Structure 1
Amino acid sequence: MKKYDEILIGSGPAAYEMSNLLAQTDHKILVIEGFEYGGTCPNYGCEPKIFLEGAARTVLQSQQLLGHGVSQPAKLDWSALMQTKLDRFDPWPAETREIIKKTHDVEDGYAHFVDDHTVSVNGHQYQAEHIIIATGQTPNILDIPGKEHLHTSYDLLSLKNLPKRITVIGAGFVGLELVTLVAAAGAEVTVIMHSDRALREFTKAEDQALVTAMQQRGIKFLFNADTQKVEQAADGLNVVTDQGTVSTDYVLDATGRHPNIEQLGLENTSIAHDRHGITVDGHLMTTVAGVYAIGDVVSRRQPKLTPVAEFEGQYLFNYLMGKNDQEIVYPTIGQAAFTFPEVARVGVSADAVADDSQYQVKTIPLKYGSLYAGQNDQVSTLTLVFKDQRLVGASEIGDYAADDINNFLPVIGLEIDGAEYKQKLIAIYPTLGDKVAGLLK
């Protein structure tokens, strides 16, 4: 049986961060990957999504400016866009594998725990001083009749030809971002939602404004609907719900993601886990000494985002190398949905403290500013939450919400008050960054 200093199970952002850091040591490392090297983000997630969003945003902004200085809006060529995307991203898994292989051993296959401290892959068994589970999450597939007709975000993000009618089940981050993309390319889109709210991470007002903006572009929403089955029809597919049937050509299951642990053989170990992922302590160690978990596979309340996964990879490296013995403390984390308009947030939610007199909430329409008016952005609204005169939360809906909220991340995370901000910074005029000082009174 071969032994290593560290075994990394997975090669996504969390594991890749650790892999690069461990490459600077004399440790002997094994990286095991049964999916795509690099994980979801660079192959089927945030990287290709934001790449495609650039073209979709241009099209939608040009449509928004029709009659306001633009006479002919842009049109998105899906086939050309997708081919450009494939040319860029298809080589990434092989390239990532080669980068890892330069400094570490690799095994292509799914790791399976034989016992608490032994993993098996491809008929080989391995042990290590530290085993790090970083297998991330995988898309849900509804267990309904006709589920063989359901597609995941992985499928859609490699779809060379755009179907005329697309039905999306689910209205979370992934669902609404992909709805934005395919609708911008000309597909007729219907969203089936199990509840009456889409992105519950944001305020109710922001949620309603986003759905309304999407409806005005022709996207249909079916609220409080239970999807019962998918049937083959003469001219496509029928999605049957308790509120009627939706005729379509393609069905995207965007009902969420779950921890990718089914093939790990955790039943052979004492590693505790729940439906949110693997249970860890303040040092990211599982209930088995020497076995750790990082990234989206971890059961935690912090958002499951690539930067958070990388932060955990950096933390665990420092902890295992003896550079830090403190429990992990997460920084201020920003969050955004790259829909159109975008929604973004950080810190305390205005809705959560609406009835708490300790907090003061400011809501500022941004449409009167020259930048937003020039884009005919009539939706942009910024919400700020203060406690004891200090900013503790910010959220926005608008064309530039993600960038705008990034202006407030250091203010909240570094606990900067308005006077200190004005003394030390003069932002570029006339963007929102210039206005931040005026808002922090």
Structure 2
Amino acid sequence: MADDLARTFDVDLFVIGGGSGGVRAARIAAGYGARVQLAEEYRVGGTCVIRGCVPKKLMVYAGRFADEFADAAGFGWSVPTPTFDWRVMKARRDAEVARLEAIYDANLGKAGVTILPERAVIEDAHTVRLVGSGRRVSARFILVAVGAHPVKEPLIPGAELAITSNEVFDLESLPERILVVGGGYIAVEFAGVLAHLGARTTLLHRGDKLLRGFDEEIRDALDTAYAERMDLRLNRTVERLDSSGSGIRVTLDDDTTLEVDQVLTATGRRPNTAGLGLEAVGIEADARGAIPVDAFSQTRVPSIYAVGDVTDRAALTPIAIREGHAFADTVFGGKPWCVDHGLIATAVFSTPEIGVIGHNEDVARRLFGAVDVYRSSFRPMKATLSGREERVLMKVVVDRASDRVVGVHVLGHDAGEIIQAVGIAVTMGATKADFDRTIAVHPTAGEELVTMRSPVVTKHPVGVG
């Protein structure tokens, strides 16, 4: 390390990847006076801005207007029969993505970061090579922030006929019939969007419930809601895909077939480490292709760090941003800190929406033994006039010994917004007594979280809880 300090480098920091984590790290490091270059071979903004969180959420909004139009009659509005134009939505969505990308570019430029629009690979602990130009850049530190990509099931015959969550944004028209394969949040969100926009949607998942790892009651409620909205097929897998005159013929493991216009696979993502040059410096990716790092995002090579989805710690944009910020503060700002991955608030933008922080009931019982569970299920106020059959579900899981709230689970309208506010309290270590002494905002759905007084009796293994 002493030799590194005496050596002269072209830059202080070279960032490979222009997604959320890389951009934040580059900007903060430059703010500390570091000379920073960032290489991005596609578009600055990464998965979230270009083909993930932002365009997907805009599509979620588009789909929810279908319910708003239908509900309006119950409140006295006469709404002409609405029609949806995919091309208009796509053009507006793509324009917004381009606007945000330009802002990312501008902010990096204002911070003094040099953007290099080409692929970069690692040659040694302090050198990267730009693949397009062949130019080499020496750096005191290298940060890998290349993200991850969606994968298809390669062993399924005809898998090339399917698209992933990347290509769905390029569709020029809304498919009349679509099969979505997967049970995670990406599959759930896109199935909900497409169904609401008017596509005849089939959601197929090999498991017995959607959203593995979420609270069981939340999973059950989502399954019920989705079964009413679309053709939900659980405990099923795809055997093969074949081109047919009318689109794609899908053969399932029970020998039944589906005829659809498009198949969207959302069964997993893998870190973008192939061909990155990790082997040149002795960094060995794990079985999923992720780069092993310590709590401070440092690899086994002291000068090389990695943040975001490429580390496969928690594949969420806010996590990548905080990891990038922590890296810059630690390495260039003299303010070392690391991200706590143990308590993360998150949302699934399904319809109904889901917001979660902390442990589900089953995990909480394993970790804490005795827990109290507070539960409320109710028809939202809006549905009383709209006539829509929908339910809101809220659960608060409490460690009985300390009275600390260790999990909050919400399914219903604006669950993501609710869980963001609740997440502050839970992160601070709020107790159930703290919730109870908080005055309710009436009439809201969120007030249920501070008015539940009696824990429910649930069945659980003998000797636990």
When the two chains are superposed, the root-mean-square deviation of aligned CA atoms in Å is 2.5
* Aligned with residue 335 of structure 2, among 320, 324, 330: 324
User: What do the CA deviations read for 1:281-319 (whole angstroms, capped 9, x no partner)?
Assistant: 12110111110001111132xx31111111111111110
What letter corresponds to residue 299 of structure 1 in structure 2? D
What letter corresponds to residue 452 of structure 2 in structure 1? L
* Aligned with residue 295 of structure 1, among 282, 300, 308: 308
Give the match's secondary structure for 1:336.
strand
Give the match's secondary structure for 1:408.
helix
What letter corresponds to residue 293 of structure 1 in structure 2? A
Q: What is the deviation of 1:372?
A: 5.9
In 1: Cα distance, 2:304 partner to 2:365 partner = 42
Does 2:233 match 1:225? no
Q: Structure 1 residues 380-389 or 97-106, which shifts more?
A: 97-106
Q: 1:68 to 1:92 in 2, by over 3 A?
A: closer
The equivalent residue for 2:381 is 370
Give the match's secondary structure for 1:130.
strand
Contact 2:20–2:321, Cα closer than 8 Å, also in 1: yes
Does 2:205 match 1:193? yes
What letter corresponds to residue 41 of structure 2 in structure 1? G
The equivalent residue for 2:52 is 45
Contact 1:76–1:184, Cα closer than 8 Å, also in 2: no
In 2: Cα distance, 1:422 partner to 1:379 partner = 23
In 2: Cα distance, 1:338 partner to 1:353 partner = 24
In 2: Cα distance, 1:221 partner to 1:70 partner = 32
Q: What is the deviation of 1:233?
A: 0.5
* Aligned with residue 290 of structure 2, among 277, 292, 297: 277
Task: Determine what percentage of the aligned residue pairs are the same residue.
Answer: 28
The equivalent residue for 1:391 is 405
The equivalent residue for 1:117 is 126
The equivalent residue for 1:106 is 115
* Aligned with residue 305 of structure 1, among 298, 309, 316: 316
In 1: Cα distance, 2:280 partner to 2:170 partner = 36
The equivalent residue for 1:35 is 42
Q: 1:415 to 1:440 in 2, by over 3 A?
A: farther
* Aligned with residue 79 of structure 1, among 87, 92, 99: 87
Contact 2:151–2:266, Cα closer than 8 Å, also in 1: yes
The equivalent residue for 1:238 is 249
User: What do the CA deviations read for 1:174-218 (whole angstroms, capped 9, x no partner)?
Assistant: 11111111111111111221222211132222212212212212x
Q: 1:25 to 1:353 in 2, by over 3 A?
A: closer
- Taking structure 1 as the reference length, what is the TM-score of the superposition? 0.91
Does 2:414 match 1:400? yes
Contact 2:376–2:448, Cα closer than 8 Å, also in 1: no
In 1: Cα distance, 2:224 partner to 2:72 partner = 18
In 2: Cα distance, 1:45 partner to 1:169 partner = 17
User: What do the CA deviations read for 1:357-400 (whole angstroms, capped 9, x no partner)?
Assistant: 42111111132x63564564632110110013221111021122
The equivalent residue for 1:382 is 394
In 1: Cα distance, 2:103 partner to 2:337 partner = 35
Long gaps (5+) in structure 1: none
In 2: Cα distance, 1:316 partner to 1:157 partner = 32
In 1: Cα distance, 2:221 partner to 2:431 partner = 30
- Taking structure 2 as the reference length, what is the TM-score of the superposition? 0.86
Q: 1:34 to 1:124 in 2, by over 3 A?
A: same
Contact 1:346–1:395, Cα closer than 8 Å, also in 2: yes
Give the match's secondary structure for 2:263.
strand
Give the match's secondary structure for 2:301.
coil
In 2: Cα distance, 1:172 partner to 1:380 partner = 21
Give the match's secondary structure for 1:439.
coil
Give the match's secondary structure for 1:277.
coil
In 1: Cα distance, 2:232 partner to 2:339 partner = 41
Q: 1:156 to 1:326 in 2, by over 3 A?
A: closer
In 2: Cα distance, 1:325 partner to 1:404 partner = 31
Long gaps (5+) in structure 2: 1-7, 455-465
The equivalent residue for 1:133 is 144
In 2: Cα distance, 1:254 partner to 1:192 partner = 10
What letter corresponds to residue 323 of structure 1 in structure 2? G
Q: 1:371 to 1:118 in 2, by over 3 A?
A: same
Provide the aligned length of Structure 1 versus Structure 2.
Answer: 436
What letter corresponds to residue 53 of structure 2 in structure 1? C
In 1: Cα distance, 2:383 partner to 2:406 partner = 25
